[in-house]
Structure formats: structure tokens, C-alpha cells
Amino acid sequence: MPGWTQKQERAYEHVKESYRDEGRSEKKASEIAARVVNKQRRLKGQTANSRTQGTGNPRRALDDRTKDELMNIARDRNVEGRSRMTKSELVKALRKE
């Protein structure tokens, strides 16, 4: 897989082979093995966390979004001083834009 180290590739193959030995299909074994390796990468901080990735549902009001979603929107809009803002301050700043 792209972005994986050689050690992670070996772990993927090992997990996949183990599930194949248990009688799982090739497709299912590959899916499970990829999930295992990606979880390890996520725990080590090698991949983006879903909590801090998105900007949320665009139909939801700013007040209803999480602070992480507001921070991502503020970053996209280059809001100055966003890292020191509270959630309510972020909402006010984004409404001005």
C-alpha cells in the first residue's frame, strides 16, 4: 500500500495470510489486514485522525459544529489568531468572513 513502511507491508502480509489460513476469502482477508495496519498507523500518528480532518456537514449551522470542524474551516479561510480562539469566538470570526 502507498505510504506504508516495509515493516507495515510485512505485517499486512502476515495478517492477511493468517486470515486466509482461517478460511476467509482473499478480499475479506485483505480488508481486515489493511484495517489492522491502518489502525496501527493511526495510533502512531502517521495518518490523519478523522476527528480533525473534515469541516462537517455544510448544511449544519456553525453553532452545531465541533470546535475541530470550525478550526478546519478557519484554517481554510486563513482566519488570523484562530489557534487561540474559543468555539464561540471561532463562530463569530467565521460569520464575519
Give the DSSP per-residue string, 44-97.
TT-S--GGGT----TTS-GGGS-HHHHHHHHHHTT-TTGGG--HHHHHHHHHH-
pLDDT digits (tens, 9 = 90+) for 6-36: 999 999 999 999 999 999 999 999 999 999 9
pTM: 0.52
Which residue type, as a one-letter code, is found at position 64?
D
pLDDT digits (tens, 9 = 90+) for 41-65: 877 777 766 666 677 778 889 999 8
Q: Pick from 48, 44, 96: which is nearest to 72 by CA?
A: 48
